[in-house]
Structure 1
Amino acid sequence: MKNLFKLSAVSSFVLASVALPLQATDTIAVTEQNYNQAAAAKYMGNWDKRGADKEIVHLPILVPAGNKAPVVRMNQDSLYSSAIAHADKDGYIHVTIDEFENEPGTEDIYTSVHVLDENSASPMYKVGPGEYSVKIDTDFAFIIFRAGVEDKSDLTNALAAQSRFHVDYSATKEFAPEGYVAPNYDVAQRQAMTKKLKKEFLEAGEDFFYVESSDSPDANNGRQMRSNAQGWGGMPIEVGISNIYRNTKQFDGSVCQQTTFAEPDNKYFTSVTLYDEVGYMLDTDRFSINSYEWDKNSDGTVTISFGCGDDAPNNLETNGEDFNYTVRNYGASHDVEYDLFGGRELKYLAGGSLNPDYKS
């Protein structure tokens, strides 16, 4: 349908694909020009193994910590439902989130749908009930539904919400009855490039960066590749609707560290999640917190503690392991768009050196 291998850049996500039974000579070399496509193939291929190109795959549990997660940089803010669908004859993907119907014993919660193409670009992010259609630049799209989790000990509302998610698979049945087939990129080359890009991302202290399409005027291949390596599956900034992910450098997990900030006034909610250097959630008893559950200071600010013990405000456990963290802003505010609030300037970097960005 469309040209998959555009030389301009794209957005980001990360999962594990399965190599198809092709000859070694049929593998596709991974380069800077196609890394974003190779990343999409990896993650879409992983969900293809779960049957997501035939029907929506609902994850009925919170994503586990550590490398048990199906992809790096996931979080426990929501339950995930994923699908892979082929565009219709006009290039459109069609999805639906049903209205909340006051099911007995459940309450309405945050719901969203996110569409990415095979270039890792993100042409659509919508929140709440509706029938949505979006034109994509490739044959297939990866579709992510989120059902918000306000109380991690009770998933009743999120599980009920998953039944409200729908994808139109009619074009898949018509144009690709065999389903999605991941291109056979060279796995070793992709792994090596991913490792290099992950390191560059953390050293640069960059934020995640995603675009609507490969032709977006602000497309930047290098920055997108680094974002894809550390956190595939983001979306461009749309104030009050989409999410903005702010990330940190690596910090020293062997000492108590804290950050205090004014709440960023996001439309929906905010969260902080700890990750290891590779990008998996830190495997401790408490590695994430969101604005539904954190305690505020008397002046209305929020203090998050890292490795400071149970008596510290909103303590997240590091078990002595170095860490970085992502602040997720759901329905991001203008303050977040312009990065006007703090929360990312801890005192000690990994290895114990003083953070030059630290503000006392």
Structure 2
Amino acid sequence: MKKLNLLLLTVLVSLSLTSCQDKKASSSNNSETTTSTENAIIVTEKNFPQAYTNLRFAKILEKTGGVNKFFTMPVPPSEPSKQFVVRMNRDTPYSVGVFDVSSGEVYVTVPETDQYVTVQIVDENHETQRMIYGSGRHKITAKTTHAFVIVRALEGEIRENLVVEAGSATPFQVKKWDMKSFKEVDERGNLDFSDGYDQSKAFGNKESGQTDYMNYVGAAGGWGGAMVEDNIYQTSQYLDANGKYEVTFKNPEAVYFWSATVYNGDGRMFNDGANISSATNPVQNADGTYTIRFGCTGEQNNIPILEGNKTGKFNILLRHYGPSKMVSNNEEGYNPMLSIKRID
């Protein structure tokens, strides 16, 4: 298995082990409107990033009503089946859209703000590029005809006043995918993701070192994840949701902020208190470290892991928005996912 790299966005995602119960949950939580037909495209590891991306674009267009429009995403619900993709988060409000970038003249203008705001682009092959930061008129480019654009902002009102300029509006073509093979490949990729993967090869582009296999695993486990230069994701393996856990770690000193989110066995949030963030002012220890607890009701910095979780297990994703050099260099004490301990 590939070495676990430093690994929120968005993310970013985890899923089923091989019990009958888990397979049933995965099937229901990852269902799509596209059904199997005689002429449907069989999904393999090779074309999975394109298949998942095509299906995600279709879902977005259902909300926007067409290309070159933003949809203001609501806060992700705690009901797993109603979440847009695996490993969503509540770290920032965001808006999304599918844009025709074939004209080479597409711009998104972000209103003035001194708060964190980024623009990320994901193309039809699940290749991404460095995020665009801050307010202003930003050019949107991609290798494919259409691209997904997500604007994340701590100041939620920013999303209501985005201005789009586009030189063309070619409709996006949704393909027919064989959903039986899709779900089988999706389940394998999600399992590989939770076992450990290389973020630098999963989220990026061919020029940055993205590989076909890691692109597949990244799409299955955290579709739309960011490059390591922008966000670093640190993920735990699956743990028994009937236990109590804690982890103490050094202050990550992120440029922007850090967050921790828990997910069920299908990579979905399941509780309104599923996350904690440095932006929410968690209690800090006297020595400057942080201790996060899981399943320790009534304790400081606690995240529920059982209430609402029907899969019997959970894992944790720690996101670093603007990672510090210590986190980027994987210095000792800066990857808490390696030192989680059970305390019950």
Indicate whether 1:193 and 2:185 are aligned.
Answer: yes
**TM-fit CA distance, 1:93:** 4.1
Q: Which moved more, 1:34-43 or 1:130-139?
A: 130-139
Q: Partner residue of 1:19?
A: 34
Match among 285, 288, 298 for residue 297 of structure 1: 285
**Whole-angstrom CA distance in 2 between matches of 1:205 and 1:34:** 21
**TM-fit CA distance, 1:339:** 2.1
**If the length of structure 1 is used for normalisation, what is the TM-score?**
0.78
**TM-fit CA distance, 1:211:** 4.0
Q: Partner residue of 2:44?
A: 31
Q: Partner residue of 1:8?
A: none
**TM-fit CA distance, 1:165:** 2.2
Indicate whether 1:131 and 2:131 are aligned.
Answer: no
**SS of 2:335 mapped into structure 1:** coil
Task: Name the CA shift for 1:18/1:45 in 2 (closer, same or farther; >3 Å).
Answer: farther
Max Rg structure: 1
Equivalent residues of 1:84, 1:140 under 8 A apart: yes
**SS of 1:216 mapped into structure 2:** helix
Higher relative contact order (CA 8 A, sep 6+): 2
**Whole-angstrom CA distance in 1 between matches of 2:256 and 2:316:** 20
Aligned length: 307
Equivalent residues of 2:87, 2:222 under 8 A apart: yes
**TM-fit CA distance, 1:244:** 1.5
Identical counterparts, % of pairs: 27
**TM-fit CA distance, 1:217:** 5.3
List gaps (5 residues or longer) in structure 2: 1-10, 14-29
**SS of 1:168 mapped into structure 2:** strand
Indicate whether 1:72 and 2:86 are aligned.
Answer: yes
Instruction: Write out per-residue CA displacement over residues 63-112 of structure 1, whole angstroms, 9 at most, x where no aligned residue.
Output: 1122221221110011121111111334x642221213xxxxxxx53211
**TM-fit CA distance, 1:265:** 1.1
Equivalent residues of 1:116, 1:124 under 8 A apart: no
Task: Name the CA shift for 1:35/1:288 in 2 (closer, same or farther; >3 Å).
Answer: same
Give runs of aligned pairs for residues 235-250 of structure 1, distance below 5 A: 235-238=226-229, 242-250=230-238
**Whole-angstrom CA distance in 1 between matches of 2:185 and 2:277:** 33
Match among 264, 267, 281 for residue 279 of structure 1: 267
Equivalent residues of 2:67, 2:99 under 8 A apart: yes
**SS of 2:267 mapped into structure 1:** coil
Q: Partner residue of 1:162?
A: 159
**Whole-angstrom CA distance in 1 between matches of 2:140 and 2:271:** 39
Q: Partner residue of 1:6?
A: none
**TM-fit CA distance, 1:24:** 3.0
Task: Name the CA shift for 1:142/1:40 in 2 (closer, same or farther; >3 Å).
Answer: same
**TM-fit CA distance, 1:17:** 5.3
**Whole-angstrom CA distance in 2 between matches of 1:17 and 1:140:** 21
Q: What is the one-letter code of the residue matched to 2:341?
A: K
Q: Partner residue of 2:215?
A: 224
Equivalent residues of 1:266, 1:331 under 8 A apart: yes
**TM-fit CA distance, 1:307:** 0.5
Q: Partner residue of 1:307?
A: 295
Task: Name the CA shift for 1:131/1:17 in 2 (closer, same or farther; >3 Å).
Answer: farther
**SS of 2:138 mapped into structure 1:** strand
**TM-fit CA distance, 1:56:** 0.9
Q: Partner residue of 1:181?
A: 173
**SS of 1:171 mapped into structure 2:** coil
**TM-fit CA distance, 1:199:** 1.4
